Amino acid sequence: MTWRAAVLTLFPEMFPGPLGLSLAGKALADGLWSLETTDIRDFATGKHRSVDDTPAGGGAGMVMRADIAAAAVDAARVAAPEGTPTLYLSPRGTPLTQERVQNLAEGPGVILLCGRFEGVDQRVLDARDIEEVSIGDYVLSGGDLAALVLMDACVRLLPGVVGNEGTHSEESFASGLLEYPHFTRPREWEGRPIPDVLLSGDHEKIAKWRREQAEALTKARRPDLWEKHRKD
């Protein structure tokens, strides 16, 4: 079964965007995954195709209406394979991890609801059991860029997308650590040489050096990951 992404957005022209290029773009053209975008405004009923309204209780900005968002979600679910999760990209959502990305990539695909304005009426999230997912502790103008990030993370894990799929096993987070540094030619650049151990040909020593580097980087930059790795 082809992995399928269905994106519900007010800006369908933003897709596939960068996912139409490089390995993801080639995989899309080759049918290794599919992308369907739906304009949420298609489900608006008024003359002006308005999808938002003022927030109950007052406050700045506008909120996407529950009835319109729900209609878009319902239509996407009818066309999606059974078991496809519906995710709402939101800074208050559960942080997206490599483990979750792997699980999503192993499934049938995703339905991604991209909010705008101040967000989406909470009632549609509750009524349709939509999971909120965050790509980081910052706020974007909408969920579209976050959707692209999530899809890219998933697509690159699909069979046949990356030439050497063994590279996934050494990437950041694969073993609970950040990835070790990489070097290539020239042997010396601006007075900075490649570490001798990487040119030694001793694979055991190279593996040990890379492990030590990964541990040091994780400990320094992501103490949260390091603590979790130690406990595991």
Domain ranges of the chain: 3-155, 172-231
As a whole number, mean pLDDT of residues 34-60 equals 94
> Quick check: 161 pLDDT over 70?
yes
Alpha carbon 90 to its chain centroid, in Å, reads 12
**Average pLDDT over every residue of 125-145:** 97
Per-residue pLDDT at 168 exceeds 90:
no
Fold of the domain built from segment(s) 172-231: Trp Operon Repressor; Chain A (1.10.1270)
Amino acid at position 95, single letter: P
> Is the model's pLDDT at 166 over the cut of 60?
no
Q: What is the pLDDT of residues 97-122, one digit of tens each?
A: 999 999 999 999 999 999 998 999 99
User: What confidence tens digit (pLDDT) does each residue in 197-209 have?
Assistant: 999 999 999 999 9
Cα–Cα distance for residue pair 80/128, rounded to 1 Å: 15
Q: Is residue 153 scored above 90 in pLDDT?
A: yes
pLDDT at 165 over 70: no
Supply the pLDDT for residue 173.
85
Q: Quick one: 3-155 is in which CATH superfamily? A: SPOUT methyltransferase, trefoil knot domain (3.40.1280.10)
- Tell me how far apart the alpha carbons of residues 102 and 153 are, in angstroms, rounded to a whole number: 9
pTM for this one?
0.93
Q: How far is CA 59 from CA 109, 118, 224, in A?
A: 36, 10, 36
**Can 3-155 and 172-231 be said to share one CATH topology?**
no
> Which sign does the torsion angle of CA 209, 210, 212, 213 carry?
positive
Give the DSSP H or E segment for 167: none
The per-residue pLDDT for range 208-217, each reduced to its tens digit, is: 999 999 999 9
Q: What pLDDT does 167 receive? A: 62
